[in-house]
C-alpha cells in the first residue's frame, strides 16, 4: 500500500494563480497557515501570458501587502486610454475623471512571479507539479485535499479549502450540480492575441472599433507590444501567419491622425474564446471558490485578475475574523459580498464587449446604434466618467484593515 504523507493546515489553497498566491500571502500576514497545491510547473505558471491591466485598488493591495517592488520599478502607470472609432481616436482621461486614479500595466506573469517569490520567502508550503489533485469532504469540518507529488501521495487535512484553481480546475466540480446556479454567455467571437518585439507606438492603450471588427493595442514593457484582434470563435491559429496578422492589425488600427502600431517580430500568439460566466454561491460547506474558479469575464474590460484580487481580500477578512474571534458571520457573507462586485464587473465587461465588437448577423440598424453609442461615449463627459470610474475599478467591498493590512489611503469600502 502506498505511503501517504499527511499534512495538517488551516487553509488548503488549490491553484497558484493570482487568486491562490495572493490569498496565501494575505493569510500569512494574519498568521494563518496554508498549503498551496498547483498542478503545473513553476515556469509554466509564470510564463503563461494573460492579463496586464491592474486597477488602482489592485495596485494599492499589492502595495499594502508589500509585494510591490517590481510593480514600482516596471509597472507602467496609465492615466488614460484611447477609444478609436472608425479611424478617429478619442482620449478618455481616466485620472481627471476619477479624481486622480489610474490603471497600471504590469503583466500577470510579473505579478505571479513576485507572489511566488514572496511565498517562498515565507517558507510556507507551495507544491508545483501536483498530480491527481482531488478535493474531498468539503461538507465536513475537516476537508482533505489529496495529490501526488514526486511519486508520493499527500493528504492535506484542513479547516477550509480555497478553490483558486481557475475555470478548468477541480474545486467547482467538487460541488454537487444541484447546489450551484450557473449563469453563462458565450460570445460568437474570440481574441487572437500576440506579443511582438516592437516599441509601443502609444503610451496608452487603444481600443479600436472597426468595420472589420474589434482590435486592441496594449503593451507589456517599453520594448514589447501586446495586440489583440477579434476573430471567429475556435479560429485555428495556423490560419494566421505573421504577415496576415500584421496586415489585419494595421488595417483595423491605423487611425486618420496617422497613428498605428509599430511592427516587430511576433514572439507569442494564441486564440482565446470569450465568455461571461458566474457560478453561485461561491461557497459550499467549507469550500470557498475565488477568482476564475467562480467567474469569468470577457477580457475587454480587463477585470479578471482584478476580480480575483477582490475576492481573496474578502476571503482573507472572513478567515481572519474566524481565527481571531471565532466569528463565522463573515464566512457566511463571503459569497454575497463578492457577488455584488462580480455582477457589476460582469455588466461592465459585457457592455465593453458588446459596444466594441462586431456581432455576426447584425444588421445595419445594429451597426448605426453601435456607432451612436460610441459617439455618445466619446463626446459626453458623463458617459466618459462612468466608463472611467469602472475601468480604474470600483471601491473594494471591504477595507484593508478588516483583512489585517496596514491602513493605507483607500477609497471607502462599501461593506
Contacts to ligand FAD by CB under 6 A: 14-20, 37-40, 45, 50-53, 108, 130, 133, 164-166, 169-170, 193, 272, 291-292, 299, 302-306, 308
Active site residue 360: no
**Residue 250 to residues 107, 208, 243, 246, 247: CA-CA distances in angstroms?**
24, 11, 11, 6, 5
Residue 9 or 108: the one with the smaller Cβ distance to ligand FAD is 108
Residue 18 or 75: the one with the smaller Cβ distance to ligand FAD is 18
CB-hemisphere CA count at 13 Å for 214?
27
* Nearest-approach distance from CB 386 to ligand FAD, in angstroms: 19
Active site residue 261: no
Q: Are 165 and 129 in contact (CB under 8 A)?
A: no
Active site residue 367: no
Residue 16 or 32: the one with the smaller Cβ distance to ligand FAD is 16
Which listed residue (106, 187, 207, 228) is catalytic? 207
In the chain the first and final C-alpha atoms are separated, in Å, by 51
* Nearest-approach distance from CB 86 to ligand FAD, in angstroms: 24
Joined grid coordinates for residue 263: 511592427
Q: How far apart are CA 16 and CA 312, in angstroms?
A: 13
* Nearest-approach distance from CB 171 to ligand FAD, in angstroms: 8
**DSSP 8-state assignment for residue 204:** S
Residue 130 or 282: the one with the smaller Cβ distance to ligand FAD is 130
Q: Are 222 and 200 in contact (CB under 8 A)?
A: yes
* Nearest-approach distance from CB 215 to ligand FAD, in angstroms: 14
* Nearest-approach distance from CB 371 to ligand FAD, in angstroms: 25
Beta bridge partners of 270: 193
Residue 75 or 299: the one with the smaller Cβ distance to ligand FAD is 299
Active site residue 78: yes
* Nearest-approach distance from CB 308 to ligand FAD, in angstroms: 4
Which listed residue (82, 295, 299, 322) is catalytic? 299
* Nearest-approach distance from CB 92 to ligand FAD, in angstroms: 16
Phi, psi (degrees; rounded to nearest 5) at 123: 65, 15
Q: Are 320 and 403 in contact (CB under 8 A)?
A: yes
Q: How far from the centroid of its chain's Cα atoms is residue 327's Cα?
A: 29
Instruction: Print burial letters for 107-132: b (CB count within 10 Å at least 16), e (below 16).
Output: bbbbbbbbbbebbeeeebbbbbebee
Q: Are 79 and 95 in contact (CB under 8 A)?
A: yes
Q: How far apart are CA 297 and CA 280, in angstroms?
A: 15
Which listed residue (303, 320, 330, 357) is catalytic? 303
Q: DSSP 3-state assignment of 290?
A: coil
Active site residue 303: yes
Residues with a catalytic annotation lie at: 78, 207, 299, 303, 391
Amino acid at each position: 500500500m502506498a505511503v501517504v504523507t499527511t499534512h495538517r493546515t488551516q487553509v488548503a489553497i488549490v491553484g497558484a494563480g493570482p487568486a491562490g498566491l495572493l490569498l496565501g500571502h494575505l493569510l500569512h500576514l494574519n498568521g494563518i497557515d496554508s498549503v498551496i497545491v498547483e498542478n503545473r510547473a513553476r515556469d509554466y505558471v509564470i510564463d503563461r501570458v494573460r492579463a496586464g491591466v491592474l486597477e488602482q485598488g489592485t495596485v494599492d493591495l499589492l502595495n499594502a501587502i508589500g509585494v510591490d517592488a517590481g510593480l514600482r520599478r516596471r509597472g507602467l502607470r496609465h492615466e488614460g486610454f484611447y477609444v478609436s472609432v472608425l479611424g478617429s481616436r478619442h482620449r478618455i482621461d481616466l485620472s481627471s475623471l476619477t479624481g486622480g486614479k489610474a490603471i497600471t500595466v504590469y503583466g500577470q506573469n510579473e505579478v505571479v512571479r513576485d507572489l511566488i517569490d514572496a511565498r517562498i520567502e515565507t517558507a510556507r508550503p507551495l507544491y508545483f507539479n501536483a498530480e491527481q489533485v482531488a478535493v474531498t469532504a468539503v461538507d465536513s469540518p475537516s476537508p482533505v485535499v489529496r495529490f501526488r507529488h514526486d511519486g508520493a501521495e499527500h493528504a492535506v487535512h484542513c479547516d477550509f479549502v480555497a478553490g483558486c484553481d481557475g475555470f478548468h480546475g477541480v474545486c467547482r466540480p467538487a460541488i454537487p450540480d444541484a447546489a450551484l446556479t450557473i449563469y453563462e454567455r458565450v460570445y460568437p467571437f474570440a481574441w487572437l492575441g500576440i506579443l511582438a518585439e516592437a516599441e509601443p507606438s502609444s503610451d496608452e492603450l487603444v481600443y479600436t472599433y472597426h468595420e472589420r471588427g474589434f482590435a486592441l493595442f496594449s503593451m507589456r514593457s517599453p520594448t514589447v507590444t501586446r495586440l489583440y484582434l477579434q476573430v471567429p470563435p475556435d479560429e485555428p491559429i495556423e490560419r494566421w501567419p505573421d504577415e496576415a496578422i500584421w496586415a489585419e492589425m494595421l488595417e483595423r488600427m491605423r487611425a486618420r491622425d496617422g497613428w498605428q502600431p509599430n511592427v516587430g517580430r511576433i514572439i507569442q500568439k494564441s486564440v482565446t474564446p470569450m465568455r461571461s460566466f458566474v457560478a453561485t454561491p461561491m461557497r459550499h460547506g467549507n469550500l470557498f471558490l475565488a477568482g476564475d474558479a467562480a467567474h469569468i469575464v470577457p477580457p475587454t474590460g480587463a477585470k479578471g485578475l482584478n476580480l480575483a484580487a477582490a475576492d481573496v481580500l474578502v476571503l482573507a477578512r472572513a478567515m481572519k475574523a474566524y481565527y481571531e474571534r471565532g466569528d463565522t458571520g463573515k464566512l457566511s457573507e463571503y459569497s454575497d459580498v463578492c457577488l455584488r462586485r462580480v455582477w457589476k464587473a460582469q455588466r461592465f465587461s459585457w457592455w465593453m464587449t458588446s459596444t466594441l465588437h462586431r456581432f455576426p448577423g447584425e444588421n445595419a440598424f445594429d451597426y448605426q446604434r453601435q456607432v451612436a453609442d460610441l459617439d455618445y461615449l466619446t463626446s459626453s463627459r458623463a458617459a466618459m466618467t462612468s466608463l472611467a470610474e469602472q475601468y480604474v475599478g470600483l471601491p473594494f467591498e471591504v477595507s484593508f484593515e478588516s483583512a489585517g493590512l496596514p491602513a493605507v489611503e483607500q477609497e471607502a469600502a462599501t461593506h
